[in-house]
Structure 1
Amino acid sequence: MKSIFTLLFSISLLLPLPSQAGEILPLAVDLQKTGKVAEKHQVPVVIFVTATWCNYCKKLEENILTPLLETTPIEEYAQFQQMLLDKSHWMMKDFAGNDVEMKTYGPQLGVKVAPTTLFFNSQGEQIAEPIIGLTLEEHYPANLEKRINQALEKLGNPKRLDIYKLVEESDGL
């Protein structure tokens, strides 16, 4: 597991840092539309709930998510979105197509800590346990892999994510 983290961290040092939210990880502006795409491909919707003031969120995005999204085909296993908890008046559509304020939607979903990673089916029902916080970065990729695989199984999708293999194949190691 430590080698996955080391590999991802090494990749992250070579990549430019995102200058604003949504640059690498798309903002959750229309979850109804995202849900339709996820349903078509029989994959979960994964939402990373973050805040601009959160140093752990920045570590998660810069050291793990950005390298994965830029260097691997991980998007074949889920539809990834980001929701910010601290941006007043940023509007989005929930899974039912209702207009909601991004800042208040996270707490409506039960989010109390940033970062929190949530896993949904196309209708907005949680289908895997959330990942709450970021304690040790080297454990996060395995936790993400486990939850995405649980979600894929609940959706009846036989695909299984192996993050280490994706990273290895993408880097040609």
Structure 2
Amino acid sequence: MVFTAEACSYCEQLAHDVLIPLQASDEQNKPIIKAFDISTGNKIIDFDGSKVRGRNFISRYTVFATPTVVILDSQGKQLAAPIVGYNSKDAYLILLNNAIDSSRTAMQDIELPEKVLAGTQ
């Protein structure tokens, strides 16, 4: 999840330099990138399907500056430390790749229910 704000030049630069090319890549395991503009104050559909106020969603992930990238699982659980701010493409790619690697490790550590492991329904 990328938390952005209107008129945030760093957010625009991050999208242009890193996020848009990442989504356009042919990588099979590329992350799904969703963005939330914290300046709108709109409600958002939460991971359980309910509508929540934007400020509640933002505070859940302790977002205090933009851009902030938070890597989440499909239930909204944070999998890696957030990445706050943007300075340069090269430095950011290192941070992002480290966070993605950490999140993949965290996902492997999640225990699956026995019926999923056994392949039953």
Which TM-score band applies after superposition, normalised by the shorter structure?
0.7 to 0.9
2:89 is equivalent to residue 147 of structure 1 = no
Corresponding residue number in structure 2 for 1:34: none
Tell me the residue number matched to 2:38.
Answer: 85
Residue segments in structure 2 that go unaligned for 5+ positions in a row: 110-121
TM-score, normalised on structure 1? 0.57
Asked if the contact 2:5–2:11 (Cα under 8 Å) also holds between the matched residues in 1, the reply is yes
- In 2, are the aligned partners of 1:119 and 1:148 still within 8 Å (CA)? yes
> Could you tell me how far 1:132 is from its partner in structure 2?
0.8
CA contact (8 A) 1:128 1:147 kept: yes
Contact 2:22 2:30 (C-alpha < 8 Å) held by counterparts: no
For residue 2 of structure 2, give the secondary structure of its aligned residue in structure 1.
strand
Structure 1 residues 146 and 114 mapped into 2: Cα distance closer, same or farther (>3 Å)? same
Q: For 1:124 and 1:74, locate their aligned partners in 2 and report how far apart those are by CA, in whole Å.
A: 23
1:49-99 alpha-carbon deviations (Å, 9 max, x no partner):
1112111001001122112212x13462322111110113x3221122220
Q: CA deviation at 1:103?
A: 4.9
- Higher relative helix content: 1
Q: How many residues align?
A: 109
For the residue of structure 1 that corresponds to 2:22, the secondary structure is helix
More off after superposition, 73-82 vs 59-68? 73-82
Equivalent residues in 2 for 1:54-73, closer than 5 Å: 54-70=8-24, 72-73=25-26
Which residue identity does 2:23 align to in structure 1? Answer: L
Amino acid at match of 2:93: P
CA shift for structure 1 position 126: 1.0
User: 1:112 and 1:75, CA in 2 relative to 1: closer, same or farther beyond 3 A?
Assistant: farther
Cα 1:131/1:78, change in 2 over 3 Å: same
TM-score with structure 2 length normalisation? 0.79
Supply the distance in 2 between the matched residues of 1:122 and 1:64 (Cα, whole angstroms): 22
2:82 aligns to what SS in structure 1? strand
8 A contact 1:50–1:114 mirrored in 2: yes
Q: What fraction of aligned residue pairs are identical, expressed as a percent? A: 25
Instruction: Indicate how the Cα distance of structure 1 residues 94 and 75 shifts in structure 2: closer, same or farther if over 3 A, else same.
Output: farther
More RCO (CA 8 Å, sep 6+): 1
* RMSD of aligned Cα (Å): 1.9
Higher strand share: 1
